[in-house]
Amino acid sequence: MSGWQTQDIPRQDGKTAVITGANSGIGYYTALELARAGARVVIGCRDAARGEAALKALREGSGGQVELVALDLASQASVRAFAAEVQAARPRVDLLINNAGVMAMPRREVTVDGFERQFGTNVLGHFALTGLLWPALAASPAARVVTVSSMMAWVARIDLDDLQSERRYSPMGTYSRTKLADLIFTLELQRRAAGTSVISVASHPGGSTTNLQRHSFDGLMKLVGQSAADGALPSLYAATAADVRGGEYFGPRGWFGARGAPGRARVPRRARDERIAAGLWDRLEQLTGVRLDPARTGSRAA
């Protein structure tokens, strides 16, 4: 795994990859390299103008097949519409990269559905999308769900009675809890999907310079962060490398896990708590109305 770079990505011909938040940053470079490797790439973007600009650049930069479908993860209706449109055109999905996110909103905001914005986008949006796309993922002989977490998951603690930071909100504290929740979801999905053709893995980009830091750490990342292209490498490794196993976590291997070539990362102890995982899963199903039972019935939306 030493020095793994984009030239080491195996050919992805015949595969369909769905990537959220691919109009910029890590998602953009993940989409670019998968398209260059031959995958048919579907990018989900909230902003139409930025999405169209990214679509043009991705097609020109990769010479591959890239499509754009509108997606606002902060809207459960938009998630449902996106999943329906994708599956109507692509009944088989081989890679789902749950990449999009919002970070460190200065004040507590709520989505159109009334959810705290960071939790609603980073966690509920991706949980619902994974569940709604499950039939297409299960149709693949070897699908992968890659959920992007963060180094900040290490400092977080999940409170099942305050998932939406109604009692206690802080910009980075709430963000960190969503990223821990993403890791918990990744591991619980792998437990529940055992025996199916789908594996669930996670990645984090270390310290990467993207527009995600516009509310926090912007100056620091410009000084010490790696590029968004390098930050995409853990996601690309998790999505394509032959030695990846379900439940694994990938991130940069150098400089305290903040930069460098991708490798296996340590999973925080709190992310491995199966009691919390079961409780979180139940709450995610209740809040989204998406019932996901990979080993038995797949998924259905209320």
Cβ contacts of residue 147 below 8 Å, gap of 6+?
98, 126, 182, 183, 185, 186, 200, 201, 202, 203
Backbone angles phi, psi at 297, to 5 degrees: -105, 5
Query: CA-based angle 221:100:132, to the nearest 5?
Result: 160
What are the structure tokens assigned to 62, written together? 């990769």
What are the structure tokens assigned to 267, written together? 């999973």
pLDDT digits (tens, 9 = 90+) for 48-86: 999 999 999 999 999 999 999 999 999 999 999 999 999
Cβ contacts of residue 30 below 8 Å, gap of 6+?
19, 22, 97, 99, 232, 235, 236, 239
What pTM does this model have? 0.93
**pLDDT for the residue 214:** 47
pLDDT digits (tens, 9 = 90+) for 209-219: 665 544 455 45
Fold classified for 11-301:
Rossmann fold (3.40.50)
DSSP at 164: T
**How many other CB atoms are found less than 10 A from the CB of residue 50?**
12
pLDDT digits (tens, 9 = 90+) for 107-158: 999 999 999 999 999 999 999 999 999 999 999 999 999 999 999 999 999 9
Is 28 annotated as catalytic? no
Name the pLDDT band for 260 (thresholds 50, 70, 90): confident
Alpha carbon 100 to chain centroid distance?
6
Distance CA 172, CA 182 (A): 15
Nearest C-alpha neighbor of 104 from the set 16, 177, 191, 205: 177
What are the structure tokens assigned to 174, written together? 């709430």
Considering 28, 29, 169, 175, which one is annotated as catalytic?
Answer: 175
Query: CA-based angle 245:199:225, to the nearest 5?
Result: 70
Distance CA 148, CA 49 (A): 24
**How many other CB atoms are found less than 10 A from the CB of residue 77?**
10
The residues that bridge with 110 in the sheet, in sequence order, are: 116
**pLDDT for the residue 258:** 75
